[in-house]
Amino acid sequence: MSSTGKPLLGAIEAGGTKFVLAVGHSPAHIIARHEIPTRDPAATLAEANAWFEGHGAIGALGIGSFGPVDLDRSSPEWGRITNTPKPGWANCDLVGYFAERLGVPIGFDTDVNAAALAEYTYGAGKSAASLAYITVGTGIGGGLVLDGKGVHGAAHPEMGHILPRRHPDDRDFKGVCPHHGDCLEGLASGPAIKARWGASLSELPADHEAHEIIACYLAQLAVSLIAVTSVEIIVFGGGVMKTPALLERVEQLASELGAAYFPGKAKHKIVSPGLGQNAGLTGSLLLAADL
Amino acid sequence: MSSTGKPLLGAIEAGGTKFVLAVGHSPAHIIARHEIPTRDPAATLAEANAWFEGHGAIGALGIGSFGPVDLDRSSPEWGRITNTPKPGWANCDLVGYFAERLGVPIGFDTDVNAAALAEYTYGAGKSAASLAYITVGTGIGGGLVLDGKGVHGAAHPEMGHILPRRHPDDRDFKGVCPHHGDCLEGLASGPAIKARWGASLSELPADHEAHEIIACYLAQLAVSLIAVTSVEIIVFGGGVMKTPALLERVEQLASELGAAYFPGKAKHKIVSPGLGQNAGLTGSLLLAADL
């Protein structure tokens, strides 16, 4: 129970490497935070559950999860991670597990939709009507908020798998995506950078061609987002985006590639996360608060 | 006044070649329809206005217009065509013109968002939660409906200007888009087809390479739409899509390009308009009915 007399909100940012847990009085007021490594589902979920039980009763739980996930509330599979290649996690019933043990209503979305919702509400998009949140790290994913709601469509966006034009100096690399080879994730994720140049982008000298090549691919996602949805704010987060000057290169190239043509151009912005590392967790709390 | 005692709805599908006008009891019940050629704004709008005045009082008007347009109700420019290259039409105050003369509330969106709304409500998407409507003709444009609402973002989608990968047998053509050269519209619109092969796609033999090349570009728009928004139904309409077997080629290539990877794949469908030529006009009536 919180000091306001209202039950606390709980949140899980469920990632492939770690689960981040939190309880808070509100999405903007986290009072405890805890990270656990992602192992097999049984061990990971039990450890998460024990942490929440150690913090007294919560009134609702929000989960922002790595995907793909089933977000269709009318589906018997709602609340599950579906066909992930991550060993042991396919068909993991995340929502069912915690609903049974904690007995509270549960909000559920992708990790990137949760992050987009948080940036839209409290961060880079708080005075905008639409926002996309892109993470560039081990994989590339994106969430989209239009008119205050996370976009699901038939399932949820998988923006990392658009097919960018190949950079002229990067024609030979086949890409690392097991599904598409040289889709965006196959060309510009952390592992794709390492596969070509043996180092992370931050480790490569500032004048290395990799900076321009990776920015060129990410800029194409920005152009596609603006062309298809006219989204106002595009937030680029994730480990790869910590590379100095990368965001500025993406912005510059998106503009050169034609984004300056699009109507409403004064409103389109490419920015860093306003909430830093906390977008996903804050978004998961928002999913709980919204129940 | 309609036979039900409720005032009639009026609609304008404002295109670059023609304006299509209608009055109806409801969006699905058109009682009169009229086409006028698009000349300069003064003559065209006066002729449209006279036609409505000849049909007695209407209670509301919906306008689906070629763009770019200003859809932001809080903007002083709301209801205008903005920076179109079409001579005379830049800054044309469509909504203001009819509001002043007809004295009725006016709904306003892009022609393709109106068509998407109609297909979503009555046509190819009537049992779906999301739909995109693409027209492939003199230009390429697209509208998007998510959760029953046309997507605007900062302005409105301009899907014809995504940057597809070049087909290996089509590397030399520079493209006809005055802004981007070889964006989708620059490569796969009617004028782009004519510029390369001197004929429309329907006029070229069934085994001509053009069919595969154009389908490859249009399929990339389908893949981008699914990756970015996970939209369920993608409707391809417009003159170029009347080419026999083109839709099937687009569907096949979209699947090969990776769309089969995306979650919710059983729900993603690429189809012809359910409303034939009437999507835009029916959508404009829906904009009037929604006031």
Domain assignment present for residue B212? The answer is: yes
Using a CB-CB distance cutoff of 8 angstroms, which residues of chain B are in contact with residue A265? 154
Domain assignment present for residue A164? The answer is: yes
Are A183 and A196 found together in one domain? Answer: yes
Residue in chain A closest to B142 (alpha carbons) equals A228
Q: What is the pLDDT confidence band of residue A237, given thresholds at 50, 70 and 90?
A: very high
Q: Phi and psi dihedrals of B63, rounded to 5? A: -125, 120
Chain B nearest-CA distance from A167, in A, is 11
- Contact with chain A for residue B269, Cβ under 8 A: no
Q: What is the ipTM of this complex?
A: 0.94
Are B207 and B268 found together in one domain? Answer: yes
- Confidence (pLDDT) at B102: 96
- Contact with chain B for residue A229, Cβ under 8 A: yes
- Contact with chain A for residue B258, Cβ under 8 A: yes
Are A179 and A263 found together in one domain? Answer: yes
- Contact with chain A for residue B130, Cβ under 8 A: yes
Are A244 and A140 found together in one domain? Answer: yes
Are A187 and A64 found together in one domain? Answer: no
- Confidence (pLDDT) at B4: 57
Other beta carbons within 10 angstroms of residue B288's beta carbon come to 27
Measure the CA angle with vertex A162, ends B188 and B152; round to 5°: 75
Query: Mean pLDDT throughout B88-104?
Result: 97
Q: What is the pLDDT confidence band of residue B3, given thresholds at 50, 70 and 90?
A: low
Mean pLDDT computed over every residue of chain A: 95
- Contact with chain A for residue B146, Cβ under 8 A: yes
- Contact with chain B for residue A223, Cβ under 8 A: yes
Chain A nearest-CA distance from B149, in A, is 10
- Confidence (pLDDT) at A158: 95
Using a CB-CB distance cutoff of 8 angstroms, which residues of chain B are in contact with residue A180? 258, 261
Residue in chain B closest to A262 (alpha carbons) equals B158
Are B184 and B97 found together in one domain? Answer: no
CATH classification of the domain holding B61: 3.30.420.40
**Contact (CB<8Å) B158/A268:** no
Distance CA A155, CA B226 (A): 10
Domain assignment present for residue B83? The answer is: yes
Chain B nearest-CA distance from A257, in A, is 8
Q: What is the pLDDT confidence band of residue A56, given thresholds at 50, 70 and 90?
A: confident
Chain A nearest-CA distance from B267, in A, is 6
**Contact (CB<8Å) A230/B268:** no
Provide the β-strand partners of residue A29: A26
Look at residue B68 and tell me whether its pLDDT is greater than 50: yes
Look at residue A4 and tell me whether its pLDDT is greater than 80: no
Are B105 and B232 found together in one domain? Answer: no
B10 with B102: CB under 8 angstroms?
A: yes
Domain assignment present for residue A115? The answer is: no
Of chain A, the percentage scoring pLDDT greater than 70 comes to 98
**Contact (CB<8Å) B231/A68:** no
Distance CA B177, CA B192 (A): 8
Residue in chain A closest to B69 (alpha carbons) equals A263
- Contact with chain A for residue B153, Cβ under 8 A: yes
Q: Which domain holds residue A208?
A: 124-272
Lowest mean pLDDT across A100-114, A178-192, A249-263:
A249-263
Residue B225 structure tokens: 């739409």
Are A101 and A173 found together in one domain? Answer: no
Nearest to B229 among A157, A165, A223 (CB): A157
- Confidence (pLDDT) at A3: 53
Residue in chain B closest to A266 (alpha carbons) equals B154
**Contact (CB<8Å) B262/A158:** yes
Query: Mean pLDDT throughout B101-111?
Result: 97
Are A141 and A250 found together in one domain? Answer: yes
From residue B178, give the alpha-carbon distance in Å to each of A86, A223, B181, B187, B200: 46, 17, 6, 12, 20
Are A19 and A58 found together in one domain? Answer: yes
Using a CB-CB distance cutoff of 8 angstroms, which residues of chain B are in contact with residue A109? none
Query: Mean pLDDT throughout A262-266?
Result: 84
Residue A290 structure tokens: 């919204």
Binding-face residues of B in 44-103 toward A, CB within 8 A = 67-70, 82-83
- Confidence (pLDDT) at B67: 87
Look at residue B291 and tell me whether its pLDDT is greater than 50: yes
Element (H, E) at B11: strand B8-14
As for how many domains chain B has, the answer is 2
**Contact (CB<8Å) B159/A227:** yes
Are B152 and B250 found together in one domain? Answer: yes
Nearest in space to B161 (alpha carbons), one of A259, A255, A75: A259
Look at residue A1 and tell me whether its pLDDT is greater than 50: no
Buried-state track A10-48, b at ≥16 Cβ within 10 A, e below 16: bbbbbbbeebbbbbbbbbeebeeeeebebeebeebbeeb
Query: Mean pLDDT throughout B134-141?
Result: 96
The 3-state DSSP class for residue A287 equals helix
Q: Give Rg (Cα) of chain A.
A: 19
- Contact with chain A for residue B162, Cβ under 8 A: yes
Using a CB-CB distance cutoff of 8 angstroms, which residues of chain B are in contact with residue A146? 146, 151, 153
Domain assignment present for residue A2? The answer is: no
A283 with A116: CB under 8 angstroms?
A: yes
Nearest to A223 among B163, B179, B264 (CB): B163
Domain assignment present for residue A119? The answer is: no
User: pLDDT digit string (tens) for A69-109?
Assistant: 999 999 999 999 998 888 999 999 999 999 999 999 999 99
Chain B nearest-CA distance from A278, in A, is 23
Mean pLDDT computed over every residue of chain B: 95
Chain B nearest-CA distance from A82, in A, is 9
Look at residue B188 and tell me whether its pLDDT is greater than 70: yes
- Contact with chain A for residue B200, Cβ under 8 A: no
- Contact with chain A for residue B271, Cβ under 8 A: no
Domain assignment present for residue B179? The answer is: yes
Query: Mean pLDDT throughout B237-255?
Result: 97
Are A128 and A268 found together in one domain? Answer: yes
Query: Mean pLDDT throughout B230-248?
Result: 97
Look at residue B165 and tell me whether its pLDDT is greater than 90: yes
A119 with A235: CB under 8 angstroms?
A: yes
Domain assignment present for residue B118? The answer is: no
